[in-house]
């Protein structure tokens, strides 16, 4: 499973890319606002840092506006994947962009039926927002598993991206359900790396060896 960072903060992206932890990036207008930095500048920095898929979202809500933005965004860099909302207008735009070979990430997906339409229209990525479903008392993993099953039933090639991650548990659920990608906030990626028992275990190995008075092997 590929790991993406869900961030519009170039420093966070650089750190995780250089550590070899991420394969790509997803951004959205809310993340840009949260980062409190100039969005255009941030995106330009991310585009030169990461050689992997970078999802950038359109801001138009009508098909024609989405098409105009999508074509312009796709021209920015070969790694750009255009994020479109999964609305009737977004699906119309998807139908037109697929034959143009513009790679799309259909976002704000909350049901298996939405994902079915996205798969039929051959999007590059579908993004079910798991955390937001769990937030309102639904069981997001059930929806994700349904999407996996439907895509396998019909050999849809659209990649399933587990989005809106709230915890390391979500990352494990994504991997177990056979998602192609999980996009994680910076803090969650950090949590994946660390375990307190690893830290205490290492400290004990070193303390025990020091106490033994023996010489290291090399
Ligand atoms: O990639 C989608 C993600 O940014 C949404 O996350 O935390 O706003 O539900 P969240």
Question: pLDDT digit string (tens) for 112-167?
Answer: 999 999 999 999 999 999 999 999 999 999 999 999 999 999 999 999 999 999 99
Of the residues 83, 122, 172, 210, which is catalytic? 83
Question: pLDDT digit string (tens) for 140-155?
Answer: 999 999 999 999 999 9
Task: Kindly state if the Cβ of 114 falls inside 6 Å of ligand 1.
Answer: no
Instruction: Please report whether residue 126 resides in a domain.
Output: yes
| 137 Cα: distance to centroid of ligand 1 (angstroms) | 17
Return the pLDDT at 39.
Answer: 87
| 192 Cα: distance to centroid of ligand 1 (angstroms) | 18
Instruction: Please report whether residue 172 resides in a domain.
Output: yes
pTM of the model: 0.95
Evaluate the CA torsion angle 19, 162, 198, 9 in order and state its sign: positive
Domain count, the chain: 1
CATH number of the domain that 68 lies in? 3.20.20.70
Instruction: Please report whether residue 218 resides in a domain.
Output: no
Q: If you average pLDDT over residues 190-207, what whole number do you get?
A: 95
Active site residue 15: no
Range of the domain at 71: 1-210
Return the pLDDT at 99.
Answer: 98
Task: Kindly state if the Cβ of 158 falls inside 6 Å of ligand 1.
Answer: no
Task: Kindly state if the Cβ of 164 falls inside 6 Å of ligand 1.
Answer: yes
């Amino acid at each position: 499973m590929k790991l993406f960072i869900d961030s519009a903060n170039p420093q966070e992206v650089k750190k995780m890319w250089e550590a070899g932890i991420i394969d790509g990036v997803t951004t959205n207008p809310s993340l840009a606002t949260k980062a409190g930095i100039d969005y255009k500048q941030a995106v330009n920095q991310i585009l030169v840092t990461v050689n992997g898929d970078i999802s950038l979202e359109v801001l138009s809500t009508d098909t024609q506006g989405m098409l105009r933005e999508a074509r312009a965004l796709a021209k920015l860099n070969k790694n750009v994947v255009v994020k479109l909302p999964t609305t009737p207008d977004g699906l119309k735009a998807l139908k037109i962009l697929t034959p143009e070979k513009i790679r799309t990430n259909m976002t704000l997906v909350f049901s298996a039926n939405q994902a079915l339409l996205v798969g039929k229209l051959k999007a590059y990525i579908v993004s079910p927002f798991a955390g937001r479903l769990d937030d309102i008392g639904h069981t997001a993993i059930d929806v994700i598993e349904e999407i996996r099953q439907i895509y396998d039933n019909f050999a849809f090639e659209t990649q399933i991206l587990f989005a809106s991650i709230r915890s390391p548990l979500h990352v494990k659920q994504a991997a177990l359900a056979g998602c192609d990608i999980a996009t994680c906030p910076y803090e969650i990626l950090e949590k994946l790396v660390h375990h307190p028992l690893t830290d205490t275990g290492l400290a004990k190995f070193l303390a025990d060896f020091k106490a033994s008075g023996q010489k290291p092997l090399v």
